[in-house]
Amino acid sequence: MKKLLMIVLMAGSLLVGSACRLVDPFLIALNLPLSVSATVSGGNFWNESKTYSIVDQITSVSPTYATKVKATRISDILLSMPNPPATGTVSGSITYQLNGGTADTLATFTNVPFDSLRSPGISLAQSSLVHRNVAGLSNLLTAMQNATGLPLTATITVQTAGTTSVAVPAGTQIVATIDYQVDVSI
Amino acid sequence: MQCDHQILFVRIFITALALAICAAGSLAQTDVENAINQLDAVNVRGYIQPLADLYGADISAGSFRSAYIPRDGISVHLDLLGMGSQVTDGEKTYTVQLPPGYTQKTAVQPTIFGPAATVVKDPSGFQYKGSDGMIDASYFPHGVAQLTIGSFDGTEAFGRLFITPALGTNKLPKTTLYGGGVRHSISQYLGDPPLDIAAGFSYNRMTIGDLITINAVTIGAQASKNWSILGVYGGLAWEKNSLTLNYTPTASGVATSIDIDGANTFCATGGVTLSLGFLRLFADANLGSVTTFSGGIGFGN
């Protein structure tokens, strides 16, 4: 009887072990939005920047992840306006600085209707409303994308500035977001 | 002899508990939660849909192995169950919505049971990739201990429980499975039918950390026939399985609750049991949208 039970248990154990296992290691693609939310002040002006440490962004998900990075990439860049007023347009720019260096223009836009900036906003991947600076975007991609580990860039500052065509309610925001993906091996 | 039985019983229970902890705990890691948090509310459904399908089917399986319920008298059974749902190719990938500006609008990416993810490149230079699958499985297993007590007017009740405590620091969140049900003998009203017949319902609930809750309700009828030590049993059941995910996507930072239905709505069960005095061995197949096999060892009168 004991032998029979042990055979049953061992067979069950072998079946579980062979039929199901945790993949080791596997990659998690972290989505790290590097965004700047600019509040329109004085009725129709905004100018705001925010600096991110890439490693700090990764460790904010888990303290151990920064040493496990296998690749990085930019998945999208978006310009959006949460809760936009009914009518009006925006004109301005998105710029960035790498490691505190010289500012480079990523995109410029003129007379973009508020309504077109509703969530998720306008993607720089394909838009006639926002003019991409091809050289600036190319430099950014080169600096931030790495197929083998952390990027060469330690910090990035994202900035947006511009004006609205009409005075907007206090608290109205313009948001520029670099959607950054980091693969960590777990 | 009685003492030998008790020692053997304790050993078997500890071994089965350890096996089931391994099976249940492997999914409940903080890294799993981190991966889920990376997905927005649209794409997370596809990534974890197999959990609703497979766990929903798993935790409902194996609740009976006979339709015979005495009209009265005391009967107690303790069963140690293992169950595993088949992971099909359809459970391994899903269609993800790519970022809005991409020329290509959708792409196939792995679910939590899928292969390694691949990078999608847009002509703009942007690139997107999902997380890899985390579980390589042809069958997705789980374990549970079930206690059945009867009988009162041909009615018995069962409860099942399995708890995986939090293990390590931020490694394995607590996983809890509990459930129960009631069954009633129908054959007691039918004179001397050729088969034992019963009907009943069950409810099972599983929580994985603070992130995921799975509820499963089953209503069904069963029939069985015994010959000496051998018995066969079967049943038909209606099932309702659902998974609730409470999480905060990193992209939006907004707490979000999502309900996902499991695939099974109807299930047919067939199985065999071998009664060896104090002990029973049993195994069955559950056929529905998800195919689940369960089996185990039972003790009791």
Q: How far is CA A55 from CA A69, A72, A145, A182, B207, in A?
A: 10, 12, 14, 10, 33
The encoded tokens of residue B10 equal: 């304790």
Q: Can you tell me the ipTM of this complex?
A: 0.89
Given this model, what pLDDT does residue B7 score? 46
Res A128 pLDDT > 90: no
The model's pLDDT over A51-92, given as tens digits with 9 standing for 90+, comes to: 999 999 999 988 889 999 999 999 999 999 998 998 999 999
pLDDT digits (tens, 9 = 90+) for A24-52: 888 999 999 999 999 998 889 999 999 99
Q: Is the model more confident about B43 or about B107?
A: B107
Least CB-CB distance to A19: which of B84, B132, B276? B84
Looking at every residue in chain A, the average pLDDT score rounds to 90
Mutate to test the interface with A, among B109, B131, B297 (most CBs of A within 10 A): B131
B133 interfaces chain A, CB cutoff of 8 Å: yes
**Phi and psi at residue B213, to the nearest 5°:** -130, 130
Which residues are paired to A24 by β-bridges?
A: none
B128 and A CB contact within 8 Å? yes
pLDDT tens for each residue of B165-222: 655 445 456 779 999 999 999 999 998 899 999 999 999 999 988 889 999 999 999 9
**Alpha-carbon distance A146 to A149, whole Å?**
6
B88 touching A (Cβ < 8 Å): no
| Confidence at residue B16, expressed as pLDDT on a 0 to 100 scale | 44
Residue A115 pLDDT more than 60?
yes
Residue B43 is encoded by which pair of tokens? 């794409």
CA-to-CA dists, residue A46 to A7, A83, A169, B10, B276, angstroms: 73, 16, 13, 71, 81
Label residue B27 exposed, middle or buried (CB < 10 Å: 0-12, 13-18, 19+). Answer: buried
Please indicate whether, in this complex, the C-beta atoms of B38 and A28 are within 8 angstroms of each other: yes
Tell me the whole-structure pTM to 2 decimals.
0.82
Average of per-residue pLDDT values in chain B: 86
Q: Which chain A residues are closer than 8 Å to B34 by Cβ? A: 28, 30, 61-62
Q: Give the pLDDT score at B143.
A: 86
CB pairs under 8 A between A and B: 148
Res. B8: pLDDT tops 80: no
> What single DSSP character describes residue B5?
H
| Cβ B126 vs Cβ A75: under 8 Å | yes
Residue B147 pLDDT: 97
The DSSP bridge partners found for residue A71 are A183
The predicted structure's pLDDT at residue B100: 86
Contact B128 A76 (CB under 8 A): yes
pLDDT above 50 for B89? yes
Backbone φ and ψ for B177, nearest 5 degrees, come out as -125, 125
Say if the Cβ atoms of A21 and B125 lie within 8 Å: no
| B242-287 pLDDT, tens digit each | 999 999 888 788 899 999 999 999 999 999 999 998 899 999 999 9
Contact A61 B8 (CB under 8 A): no
The full set of domain ranges for chain A reads 25-185
Do residue A9 and residue B12 have CB atoms under 8 angstroms apart? yes
C-alpha A8: how far from its chain's center? 51
Q: If you average pLDDT over residues B102-125, what whole number do you get?
A: 95
Whether residue B189 lies within 8 A of chain A, CB to CB, comes out as: no
Confidence of residue B297 (pLDDT cuts 50, 70, 90): very high
The rounded percent of chain B whose pLDDT value lies above 70 is 87
Top residue of A13, A23, A182 to mutate, by most chain B CBs within 10 Å, is: A23
pLDDT of res. B64? 93
Among A100-104, A161-165, B22-26, B164-168, the least confident range: B22-26
Tell me whether residues B137 and A13 touch, CB distance under 8 A. Answer: no
Read off the pLDDT of each residue in A147-154 and give the average, rounded to a whole number.
Answer: 93
Least confident of B9-23, B124-138, B196-210: B9-23
Among the listed residues B189, B260, B198, the one whose alpha carbon sits nearest the alpha carbon of residue B235: B198
CA–CA separation, B160 and B150 (whole Å):
15
For the record, the structure tokens of A47 come out as 């100018």
Contact B50, B56 (CB under 8 A): no
A15 pLDDT exceeds 60? Answer: no
